[in-house]
Every structure is written in structure tokens, then in C-alpha cells.
Amino acid sequence: MTWLVTGGAGYIGSHIVRAFLSEGIDVVVVDDLSSGHEEFVPAGVPFHRGTILDGELLDQVIRANGVTGVVHVAGFKYAGVSVQRPLHTYEQNVTGTAVLLAAMADAGVDAMVFSSSAAVYGTPDVDLVTEDTPKNPQSPYGETKLIGEWLLRDQGVAAGLRHTSLRYFNVVGSGDPSLRDTSPHNLFPLVFDALVDGRVPRINGDDYPTSDGTCVRDYIHVADLAASHVAAAKRLDAGEPIAPVYNLGSGDGVSVGEIMATVAAVTGIAFTPEVGPRRAGDPARIVASGELAARDLDWKMRHSLEEMVRSAWEARQAAS
């Protein structure tokens, strides 16, 4: 069997590619390199540069490589920017997914693992988010991820697509020093870049009703995330029962203040974060339950916060 990983040259996608290879499963990658890096694709893995909006390319890749399933990671992933670029976000994340599903159907490929997002929940008012927590996306990005889940559901009814969607919050760390998060919007890259540049990292609000006054969020290691994508793919390949959606969460979360203290300890760079005002709409706590994924997808938190920070910092240093 061979699995296509769309967005396989990106931070998350490249870890998923390596997780498949570690299980002896062949993969092929399609990525337009808008945010990915060709050097993230391991040597020997077929790589095709192109957009998922190109149905002809997808058809050729699927047929030429004997693809039997797809892990769909490609998409425009910047929630904040999506508010300014809604049409682009919908084109990449909704139209692109529809084009991919059509190419799969034409080639007789009927298995997909979809990289969804906790953004489908918006800012839930519960302490622990489960798969049944009401969906209330508050950005075009979150809306497109929810629509993506609907597309899979409806294609399952119409054409027998076997599928699951994985929702997760903040993905951090590195499973290989050659792979790092290069997003200009994520917390770890922002903090590391500030320290490397001699600037002081910033916290948005320290007066929340949490243990240290800073927001509590769910942070999961990218290698743990990748392993569960492969577990889902193997479950689909085996024809085993699978839920339509899974949260990948820690169940408890950590505060931004804890992250800053851990970064200082790991990097050896002493600093006291600047504290700015709260960002509008930021809830005090968002943490997800991973119980369902633990039951079906071998999901577990295999890395401590220190290991998450250290692996990410080592990858950042390796790229300097």
C-alpha cells in the first residue's frame, strides 16, 4: 500500500511522512511549497510540487504511485490571517479538498485521514473539550476545517469514502533536528526568534483565572501527532471501525507562563517576559480530552513539556 500525504513538505506533514516510513509504509508527497520546504521530504520519497487545486496532477500522482489512501494535511493554516484573506482560505481549504476528493473517487481511492483543527470549536466555554463539544468556528480557517469534515462525511454517504478527521490544538516540538516549525504565527517560533534576535518574548495578559494568571492551552508533540495519523491510516487499511472525528489533546494543558519558564531553562537564556494586555476573545483555558483517540489510535502524550521545548530549540539551532 502507498499513502499520499498532501502538504508532506510542511512541518506537520513531514513528520507524518517519517512516521509512515518508520512503519514500513510507502508514501508519496504533493506540496506547493507555499509554506513547506522540499528539503523536509526524505530522500527516496516521490515528491511532486503542485497545488491540490490541480485535479489533473492529483490524478496522475495517485495512479502512477498506486496510492491506496490519503492523509490530507495541505491547506492555508493561518487562522488570524484568514480573517483578512477569506476567499483564499476557502479556495485552498474547501475547493482544494473537493478537488482532491474528486480525484480520489475517479481513481477508486476510498480512504482518507483529514488534518482538521480545534479551531472548529472556536472559544468553548467548557474546561475540557470533547468531540461532542458544540462547534462554533470564529475564523474563516476554522469554518473551512469544519466544512472539510462535512465534505468527508457527505462523500462517505455518497461514495463509500472511509475516513476520519483529527482535531488538535497547538503542535510543537520536533521529531528530527532537520525538521522545525517555520510558521511566523506560532508561539514557539516567535519566542525562539525573539531570543535569537536579542528581544524579550511577550505574554498577552497575566490576569486570567489560572494558576499563574496566563492562558492555559493544549500543547502536543508533533511526533505523537504523526504517530496517530499513521495509526488511523492503518485502521482504515485494516477495515476496522473508526470514529469520524478524534481530538488529540493532553487533557490538562500548560500555561504560557510555564512555557516561558521552560524555554528559559532549556535555552539557558534568562529573561522575564514582557506582559501586554489580553487579546480580545482569548479564553483563560482551552484543553481537549484525548480519551477517544487513546482508545483507537494509540494516542498518548509521550513527551514532557521540557522535551517539547528542547526538541524544538535543537531544531531551531540546527537551522541557524
Tens digits of residue pLDDT in 148-177:
999 999 999 999 999 999 999 899 999 999
Q: Kindly state the average pLDDT of the residues 240-267.
A: 97
Assess contact for 172 and 189: CB atoms under 8 A: no
Closest to 92 measured CA to CA, from 84, 100, 104, 102:
100
Residue 39 and residue 41: Cα distance in Å, rounded? 5
Residue 31 and residue 39: Cα distance in Å, rounded? 12
Residue 163 and residue 174: Cα distance in Å, rounded? 27
Q: Mind spelling out the 3-state secondary structure of 86-109?
A: HHHHHHHHHHHHHHHHHHHHHHCC
167-215 confidence digits (pLDDT tens): 998 999 999 999 999 999 999 999 999 999 999 999 999 999 999 999 9
Domains and CATH numbers, the chain: 2-171+219-248 (3.40.50.720), 172-217+252-286+302-318 (3.90.25.10)
Distances (CA, A) of 132 to 113, 120, 126, 127: 19, 12, 11, 13
**Bridging pattern class, strands 254-255 and 216-217:** antiparallel
7-28 confidence digits (pLDDT tens): 999 999 999 999 999 999 999 9
257-305 confidence digits (pLDDT tens): 999 999 999 999 999 999 999 987 788 889 999 999 999 999 999 999 9
Q: Judging by beta carbons within 10 Å of its beta carbon (0-12, 13-18, 19+), is residue 149 exposed, middle or buried?
A: buried
Distances (CA, A) of 163 to 1, 108, 144, 239: 16, 14, 17, 11
Radius of gyration of the chain (CA): 19
Residue 139 and residue 128: Cα distance in Å, rounded? 21
Closest to 127 measured CA to CA, from 60, 202, 218, 46:
218
Mean pLDDT of the chain: 96
Q: Mind spelling out the 3-state secondary structure of 149-178?
A: HHHHHHHHHHHCCEEEEEEECEEECCCCCC
Catalytic residues: 141
Residue 290 C-alpha cell reads as 484525548
Assess contact for 286 and 251: CB atoms under 8 A: no
| CB within 8 Å of 217: residues ≥ 6 apart | 169, 170, 253, 254, 255, 256, 285, 286, 287
Assess contact for 104 and 163: CB atoms under 8 A: no
Assess contact for 266 and 310: CB atoms under 8 A: yes
